[in-house]
Amino acid sequence: MSLKSTFLRYILTNIIGMIGLSCYILADTFFVSKGLGVQGLTALNLSISIYSFINATGLLIGIGGATKYSIYKAQHKHNKANIIFTNSFKIGILFGIFFLLIGLLASSKLSSLLGADENIFNMTNTYLKTLLCFAPFFILNNIFIAFIRNDGNPKLSMTGMLIGSLSNIILDYIFIFPLNWGMFGAAFATGLAPIISMCILARHYIKKKNNFHFHKSKLSIKQITYIFSLGISSFITEIASGIILIVFNLLILSISGNIGVAAYGIVANLALVAISIFTGIAQGTQPLLSENFGQGNNKKILQLFKYAVYASLAVSVVLYFLVVIFNNQLVEIFNKDHIEILSKTASNGLIIYFAGFFFAGINIITSAVLSSINEPKYAFTISILRSGCIIVPLALFLSYLFKMTGIWLSFPLSEMITLILGMLLAKKSLKNSIKKSYN
């Protein structure tokens, strides 16, 4: 199979899987907007930033561990590869328990910190507490998805993600409407999805296709640091959305109140689907890059990087075309009460905000590529620029000048600045990587 065909096979399965994964939240947004109206949509948007922190932790451990696993596997260091898997699993359990304790002990305080007023406090607190209690399953699911994908079974990873998401959509409907469980039902359906996904992923073990196994080993600071260094770019890419969501929510509450937050919720959740596509391209390319890096195939590394950038640009064009043509129809899907100001605010926001994906897609891919070829320092720099270093000051400044329009503009402008800096770093780091492989 040619490199291009292999690349397409990996990214297509990952794109479909990541879109499915993003439907965890999109399904909640749709059913909550239909069942609980603007207040439910506002409460959900305040809560959902915490999901980004949980998911980011899973990606940090999963992508970091699986990347190192691929490198060891390509170098035929099987014991070291198994130790990486075992330690990734242990770290995932520890972080899962940490989030679980936050849910049990501090969800009320967290709801207040996120900006929930008396009208939406109970809804926000219910969703947060339930979601955090399922954190161990979200994290472990991300770890298994990454390792199984890098173990030569991207199709099963995609299937697990898709069936988990499909179950979330079905359970969302059942819990919110026939059972009338409200916000608890939405969160409970979302929490069950990774458990169902892991049941599907278990086929990799049942059919004995796994090359990784649990290996007796001590969890060391050195191992943790190494796993985190390779997963940090994926972590920051995901956590950036959570940080930005919190900042934007607080700014919008002061400008447009709960209606503004509901409008941003619509834009942010549709953007989550777009981000999942670019993340799918990045994660699909990652195992191929790690394998070729381990084998010293520098020409193929550069080819894969080009393919990923071209794929990103093609997706950006299609997405922006759809948003410009169908923005009103997309917004009305979530506007149960047909509130005119909500429709107008969200429609304008979509057109401005989605222009940022021409730059954001390449930034996500560049960061993941650099991490995959063992250049975590440069990957981290790009990711940290996206995490709020640029967009938060821009949002504060532009919202003061242009109110809601300024909020929307801050995303494309910050991604454009990051792209310029990122391309300079990518050029330098790819040269460094090629030099290292010859030494």
DSSP H or E stretch at residue 327: helix 298-332
The per-residue pLDDT string of the chain (439 residues; one tens digit each, 9 = 90 and over) reads 688 888 998 888 888 877 876 776 677 788 999 998 989 999 999 998 899 899 999 999 999 999 888 888 888 888 888 899 999 999 999 999 999 999 999 999 999 999 999 999 999 999 999 999 999 999 999 999 999 988 888 889 889 988 988 898 899 999 999 999 999 999 999 999 999 999 999 998 887 777 777 787 888 888 889 899 888 877 877 887 788 889 899 999 999 999 999 999 999 889 988 988 998 899 888 888 888 887 888 888 889 989 999 999 999 999 999 999 999 999 999 998 889 999 999 999 999 999 999 999 999 888 888 877 777 777 778 878 877 789 999 999 999 999 999 999 999 999 999 999 888 887 777 666 655 555 5
Q: How far is CA 299 from the centre of its chain?
A: 29
Taking the domains of the chain in order of start, what are their residue ranges? 3-438
Closest CA to 430 of 364, 348, 361, 375: 375
Give the pLDDT score at 250: 93
Give the pLDDT score at 242: 83
Q: For residues 415 and 367, is the Cβ–Cβ distance under 8 A?
A: no
> Is the pTM here over 0.75, yes or no?
yes
**Taking CA 337 as the corner, what is the angle to CA 318 and CA 322, rounded to the nearest 5 degrees?**
5
Give the pLDDT score at 346: 96
Instruction: Locate 200 and state its tokens.
Output: 């599907």
- DSSP annotation of 385 reads I
CB within 8 Å of 183: residues ≥ 6 apart: 32, 36, 40, 43, 44, 123, 126, 127
Instruction: Locate 126 and state its tokens.
Output: 């219910």
